[in-house]
Amino acid sequence: MTLTDSLNRPLRDLRISVTDRCNFRCVYCMPREVFGSDYPFLPRAQILTFEEIARLARIFAGHGVRKIRLTGGEPLVRRDLHLLVAMLADIPNLDLTLTTNGSLLARQARLLKDAGLKRVTVSLDSLDNKIFKAMNDADFPVESVLEGMDAAARVGLGPVKVNMVVKRGVNESSILPMARFFREKGYILRFIEYMDVGHTNGWRMNDVISANEIIRMINAEMPLEPLDPNYQGEVAGRWRYKDGSDEIGVVASVTQPFCRDCNRARLSAEGDLYTCLFAVKGFNLRDLIRGGATDDEISQAIVSLWNKRSDRYSELRSENTISLPKVEMSHIGG
């Protein structure tokens, strides 16, 4: 029987954060003032082992999960990640993907592909090094990310998707250059509205450039037409250049919320299960595992949590919700 929540939404997509650490300090995600050298990242013993993650993933797959995305923090800073990929690739009927900032991808792409990873999404907010470095705040150049994407495409981890978070006053001048460049390359560029995740990035509605604004801007130079979603619950709205050359996506989580179809759960690096990106608290599965729970007992905990789920934060977003306590994005991934 399909597992559904209180709003009749199935559980199909699991995002697994494999680390809360990152080699970038993106201003909208891990601002350096907060995530400085004395920030208390999780000690290794508190982080799920690969065996624990794989065991949970199998149980989730038994409840209808068909897609797993590895994320972080930066997933590629977790040592030997390809070993986890190999364990997850053994689970039948699973679409296994990864979101990365791309900085360490060039040297790991082949290993990840051989281990069974299907595709990658690489985040890149500008092609202009001045803007990009100001956003990643770690002096990483655009070129190393592009090398990572190209390596991924070469070894067959495509079609490569590119995530660009757009923040007003910071990188809107990069929208058109990014669209032109990736149309040429054939990678699928997805524009993401800047979100009020966590409580450290100082989010304001004025900083959001809406998906409609982005589409209007691109359409004026390179005419676009809408495409149907690939599947129910797809987060990115799809558009195609009218000359048929390529497609782009827009993730309008702020201005056009898609909670109604949200079938995603998120597992943090320390094994907390979150049923919404904007949740305050997760359900601790690690203690259950380490306390000797059987697969059936873990299953029951997941079923009862999902059955009760009623999250729809983005549909309820208002001035009052912005200041609510929320888990940080770097803790549970995108």
Closest residue by beta carbon to ligand SAM? 334
Q: How far is the CB of 244 from ligand SF4 (least distance, A)?
A: 31
Is 140 among the residues that bind ligand SAM (CB under 6 A)? no
Q: 167 contacts which partner out of ligand SAM, ligand SF4, none, CB within 5 to 8 A by kind? A: none
Piece of the chain touching ligand SAM by CB under 6 A; list 22-30, 152-160, 213-221, 291-299: 22-30
Residue 87 in contact with residue 50, Cβ under 8 Å? yes
Give the count of residues interacting with ligand SAM (CB under 6 A). Answer: 21
Tokens of 202: 């100082």
Cα(185)–Cα(182) distance, integer angstroms: 5
- Please identify, using beta-carbon distances, which residue of 34 and 54 lies nearer to ligand SF4: 34
- Please identify, using beta-carbon distances, which residue of 8 and 294 lies nearer to ligand SF4: 8
Q: How far is the CB of 17 from ligand SF4 (least distance, A)?
A: 9
The CA-CA-CA angle for residues 194, 196, 202, to 5°, reads: 95
Cα(332)–Cα(334) distance, integer angstroms: 7
Q: How far is the CB of 29 from ligand SF4 (least distance, A)?
A: 3
Q: How far is the CB of 267 from ligand SAM (least distance, A)?
A: 13
Is 189 among the residues that bind ligand SAM (CB under 6 A)? no
Alpha carbon of 292 to those of 53, 133, 205, 298, 302: distances in Å? Answer: 15, 46, 46, 10, 16
- Please identify, using beta-carbon distances, which residue of 22 and 96 lies nearer to ligand SF4: 22
Q: 163 contacts which partner out of ligand SF4, ligand SAM, none, CB within 5 to 8 A by kind? A: ligand SAM
- Please identify, using beta-carbon distances, which residue of 10 and 73 lies nearer to ligand SAM: 73
Q: Which amino acid is at 227?
A: L
Q: b/e for 171-188, b at 16 or more Cβ within 10 A?
A: bbebbeebbebbbebebb
What is the four-CA torsion angle of 43, 35, 101, 246, rounded to 10 degrees? 130
The residue within the footprint of ligand SAM, chosen from 11, 22, 57, 285 (CB under 6 A), is 22
Q: How far is the CB of 323 from ligand SF4 (least distance, A)?
A: 16
Cα(154)–Cα(109) distance, integer angstroms: 9
The residue within the footprint of ligand SAM, chosen from 19, 97, 101, 314 (CB under 6 A), is 101
- Please identify, using beta-carbon distances, which residue of 30 and 269 lies nearer to ligand SF4: 30
Alpha carbon of 124 to those of 140, 161, 179, 256: distances in Å? Answer: 11, 10, 12, 23
Residues at the interface with ligand SF4 (CB under 6 A) = 22, 24-26, 29-30, 72-74, 101, 123, 258-259, 262, 264, 276-278, 311-314, 330
Is 123 among the residues that bind ligand SAM (CB under 6 A)? yes
Is 328 among the residues that bind ligand SAM (CB under 6 A)? no
The string of DSSP letters for 122-172 reads EE---SSHHHHHHHHSS---HHHHHHHHHHHHHHT--S-EEEEEEBTTTTG
Helices assigned H by DSSP within 38-125: 50-61, 81-89, 105-115
Alpha carbon of 154 to those of 47, 112, 146, 157: distances in Å? Answer: 32, 13, 12, 7
Which of 169, 197, 158, 185 has its CA nearest to residue 277? 197
Is 329 among the residues that bind ligand SAM (CB under 6 A)? yes
Site mask for ligand SAM (CB under 6 A), range 37-76, x = bound: ----------------------------------xx-x--
Q: Which residues make up the interface to ligand SAM (CB under 6 A)?
A: 22, 28-29, 71-72, 74, 99-101, 123, 163, 165, 192, 194-195, 197, 201, 329-330, 333-334
